[in-house]
Structure 1
């Protein structure tokens, strides 16, 4: 009997040994091209600490919802109501702070519990709305498109009735900290966060390599691991340095010193640092990634999206899974409402308008397959950043709003086409 052995796979050489995600690199490259193009067109105003700081806090709300939209689309559903659910939860939180707490509980703005009770009410409301949508889709078999299209109309107008069509504000100062400009970590706190993130990144890379070795899987050459670690840490610390470079205006500093009865020292400067809204986005991204990759719930989501019939036959309760996914989407809408309304310092009737399209576009541009089964959390966040960069850049160079929407629509269609071509060439499953 002839002994036939399979030759060992040739080790990758050069940059291929880094084993980087080509889709991720493509999205990062697209963002860099967009940033450079708008910087040239705006006369050097796009790539500045101030504009990039504003870009991050404008992206946060959509990016948080985009992480949930990944799960929705992966399971072959769609949610057109996220902008309206955001509006309703924002209205609930605003009314809690300005009416319910003072009138019923006797606790007004500035009380330590006001912001947290409002956020709790908003999250519970979002979860209830999402679970209701999931019940209609999962148990009554109404298509998600129809359920959430109805939700788009219903919840937008529920928000209007809750506030009688009025702008509600100002909101609690603690609540406003989640908006970005009103709440940052400061320079020192941002560097501490950056160093902690760098240590965690090193530990994660080391743990992943050790896990592969223990299971006798192939690993990257050590130089490739060090290079990937250096790139990741460089990106983290560079991001922190960029946000720290945006200084608080001197008039704001003078006002802060005056409020404390002090005189601002001559030449005193202070950087904003990382916004609390971005910290919240990072926490959401980590939690959603862990859910997707490390939990039974996440495995059920991708199994159901890959083959719903097989998932149901294998014992997965796909109907309850649908309820849970939509409930999670509702919670993320409420968290996004915190960020969006805190950034504005009030609740307005037009909050969240067209966010459903931005969120879906962010998930799709980030590589989530509309046929289900494929999607990443980090891809959706980068997709949200690309969408916001396009809109902010066009506004900066004076592009009319209708043309902005035309461009965004064209980019969405182009992204889907590129995704189809990519999957065909790489042999990825739809």
Structure 2
């Protein structure tokens, strides 16, 4: 017989260097408490931006995507969808859906157009400073009433949200056509139009730095206050280096955004108009005026911060997650789930009304076709941002990132010359892929 030797068993553990790397990354995520899904979305966004920019370099010899002008326009285009996506997060978390947000946007835009063009000037006078304020409040209230009505049908009527909002998609679009008789209402109030962005609808270089400093101060305050609260209630605290890292990262991103928007200057034609209007003795070629942050972007930031605070720091937000996690248990715990449903749909409607303000102001007119198919982009933004269609899971800032991803895809495809049909194919495919990845993520996390 010949002697045989057994081969050594393969090691069950990965090599020390690989294990160390994996352990270091896991420890980093645990210490900083960063959401891996948000990190993945940021990485996907970087790939999308880089891909479209490299396409321009290879085809045209010059990149067209990663430019101050395009990124500034991209931020403005994202504002309307992003505002509604923050409300859609609440709706989907509670296991509902709202297919009517685009039609509510179009209908409220028509109502606001009629208000500021045909009604208020008769009583207040053309160009009265109160016209835009009354119009904005009127539009938001109309949106909330429509949303609340649909929520009541869902909660107290027992009609599935899919059916109610599908009907609303048709009803409110038809109402928009009937009110305006298919006509375009234009131009809107001059001050109201500033809410849509543009050279005059921005805060300029100095205003952007003030906004940036406020945001940086807010980031530092939230981290310091969060650590204080954890100490007060004896919760586990992040390491000091992790808090410092998050503060530096947030402030660096804010400063980078300020530098970006300030590097996009007014077009020379607008500069010449500005010089003529102010009787300045200067050549247009020597005057550089920064756009700074556009007003719609600042509106989106305020909405996002407010909604994030509501979701994570109030009883209402805890109730939303409780209903989404288990509606029956939430009802047994004493939560009025029906009234909560009405309030959630009312908030969604109000945010659709606010988006109508931004969209119609940016267009400087109101049409019954405004907001067409926006409901698909809003739902896609929320789902891509990590909101689970199974309910109980979702983040506000994730939805904002999702809206930015969707708008980046659409903008990039327009720039490289994709036709409308191909754009819809890509958007639909991305939505299906996002839901599939959500299913895989939930399976893995169980």
The question of 1:233 aligning with 2:251 is answered yes
Equivalent pairs counted in the alignment come to: 416
Q: How do residues 330-349 of structure 1 correspond to structure 2 at under 5 angstroms?
A: 330-349=349-368
Task: Determine the C-alpha separation between the residues in 2 that align with 1:298 and 1:382.
Answer: 20
Post-superposition shift, 1:204?
Answer: 0.6
CA contact (8 A) 2:380 2:402 kept: yes
SS at match of 1:331: helix
Q: How do residues 105-124 of structure 1 correspond to structure 2 at under 5 angstroms?
A: 105-108=123-126, 110-124=127-141
Q: How do residues 233-382 of structure 1 correspond to structure 2 at under 5 angstroms?
A: 233-265=251-283, 267-382=286-401
Task: Determine the C-alpha separation between the residues in 1 that align with 2:286 and 2:275.
Answer: 14
Q: How do residues 7-26 of structure 1 correspond to structure 2 at under 5 angstroms?
A: 13=27, 17-26=31-40
Structure 1 segments unaligned to the other structure (5+ residues): 1-9
Query: Counterpart of 2:110?
Result: 91
CA contact (8 A) 1:79 1:145 kept: yes
Query: Counterpart of 1:5?
Result: none
Post-superposition shift, 1:260?
Answer: 2.1
Post-superposition shift, 1:287?
Answer: 1.1
Task: Determine the C-alpha separation between the residues in 2 that align with 1:206 and 1:317.
Answer: 35
Q: How do residues 64-143 of structure 1 correspond to structure 2 at under 5 angstroms?
A: 64-103=83-122, 105-108=123-126, 110-143=127-160
Post-superposition shift, 1:318?
Answer: 1.0
Q: CA RMSD of the aligned region, Å?
A: 1.5
Query: Counterpart of 2:3?
Result: none
Post-superposition shift, 1:348?
Answer: 2.0
CA contact (8 A) 1:244 1:273 kept: yes
Task: Determine the C-alpha separation between the residues in 2 that align with 1:155 and 1:357.
Answer: 16
Post-superposition shift, 1:17?
Answer: 3.1
Post-superposition shift, 1:238?
Answer: 0.4
Task: Determine the C-alpha separation between the residues in 2 that align with 1:124 and 1:345.
Answer: 21
Residue in structure 2 matching 1:170, options 187, 204, 216: 187
Task: Determine the C-alpha separation between the residues in 1 that align with 2:296 and 2:176.
Answer: 23
Structure 2 segments unaligned to the other structure (5+ residues): 1-22, 58-62
The question of 1:187 aligning with 2:205 is answered yes
Task: Determine the C-alpha separation between the residues in 1 that align with 2:222 and 2:382.
Answer: 25
Residues 15 and 128 of structure 1, relative CA distance in 2, 3 Å threshold: closer
Report the TM-score, using the length of structure 1 for normalisation.
0.94
Query: Counterpart of 1:425?
Result: 444
Residues 142 and 225 of structure 1, relative CA distance in 2, 3 Å threshold: same
Write the deviation string for residues 231-278 of structure 1: whole angstroms up to 9, x where unpaired.
Answer: 111011101111111010122111111012333345110110001111
Residues 122 and 396 of structure 1, relative CA distance in 2, 3 Å threshold: same
The question of 1:49 aligning with 2:68 is answered yes
Task: Determine the C-alpha separation between the residues in 2 that align with 1:411 and 1:356.
Answer: 15
SS at match of 2:286: coil
CA contact (8 A) 1:254 1:264 kept: no
Task: Determine the C-alpha separation between the residues in 2 that align with 1:75 and 1:395.
Answer: 35
Task: Determine the C-alpha separation between the residues in 1 that align with 2:371 and 2:192.
Answer: 18
Residues 16 and 326 of structure 1, relative CA distance in 2, 3 Å threshold: closer
The question of 1:29 aligning with 2:43 is answered yes
Task: Determine the C-alpha separation between the residues in 1 that align with 2:336 and 2:436.
Answer: 33
Task: Determine the C-alpha separation between the residues in 1 that align with 2:151 and 2:281.
Answer: 57
CA contact (8 A) 2:121 2:128 kept: no
Task: Determine the C-alpha separation between the residues in 2 that align with 1:31 and 1:309.
Answer: 38
- Structure possessing the higher radius of gyration over alpha carbons: 2
Write the deviation string for residues 194-217 of structure 1: whole angstroms up to 9, x where unpaired.
Answer: 011101101110111122223332
SS at match of 1:274: coil
Write the deviation string for residues 176-231 of structure 1: whole angstroms up to 9, x where unpaired.
Answer: 11102141110000001101110110111011112222333222222222111111
Provide runs of 4+ in structure 1 moved above 6 Å: none
Task: Determine the C-alpha separation between the residues in 1 that align with 2:83 and 2:318.
Answer: 21
